[in-house]
Amino acid sequence: MNTIVVAQLQRQFQDYMVSLYQQGYLDNQFTELRKLQDEGSPDFVAEVVSLFFDDCAKLINDMSISLERPDHVDFKQVDSGVHQLKGSSSSVGARRVKNVCIAFKECCDVQNREGCLRCLQQVDYEYKMLKTKLQDLFNLEQQILQAGGTIPQVDIN
């Protein structure tokens, strides 16, 4: 094990993780998720966020269809989708996605189709951005492990 390489990678991981919180991509719920990962389920976080991203893709597609026709928007369906998305984003600590959902719900409540479309576009952007960021984070984890190191605990506070 090259201890210098491991230390560098660990530092990179820590800095990257902290930046994700500071930039608002993640919140404390992600920390809670990481606490659940253990030797018995070393990929737990990656598996849960993968479920979340699948959820995002499906719900965004469904809401897009509901919002398609200006004369026939099913706001109840859209509201249901936003509620689901807000719930799962909250559960994984996807802070920006959750915040867009809050604004999205407000647009649904007043049946503002244009506002909903804007929020839909934004939530699509945010989840894809988070997906890329977390993939980079997981790649760093793999590099640390392959170099013989351990994943450091990161103190966000």
Please give the residue ranges that form the binding site for another protein (CB under 8 A).
29, 32-33, 35-36, 38, 41, 44, 47-48, 51-52, 54-55, 83-84, 86-88, 90-92
Give whichever of 14 and 50 is closer to another protein, judged by the CB atom.
50
CB closer to another protein, 14 vs 84: 84
**Cβ 105 to another protein, closest distance in Å?**
10
Provide, rounded to whole angstroms, the least separation between the CB of residue 8 and another protein: 27
Given the complex with another protein, which of 44 and 138 has the nearer CB atom?
44
3-state SS, residue 153: coil
CB of 127 to another protein, least distance (A): 12
Q: Given the complex with another protein, which of 91 and 122 has the nearer CB atom?
A: 91
C-alpha–C-alpha distance, residues 122 and 73, integer Å: 19
Among 114, 108, 107, smallest CA distance to 75 is for 108
d(CA 47, CA 39) in angstroms, rounded, equals 14
Q: How far is the CB of 5 from another protein (least distance, A)?
A: 28
Helix or strand or coil: residue 40? coil
User: Which ranges of 44-112 does DSSP label H, i.e. alpha helix?
Assistant: 44-67, 75-92, 95-109
Are 81 and 63 contacting, i.e. CB atoms less than 8 angstroms apart? yes
CA–chain centroid gap for 29, Å, is 11
Which CB atom, from 6 or from 95, has the smaller least distance to another protein? 95
Least distance in angstroms from the C-beta of 75 to another protein: 16
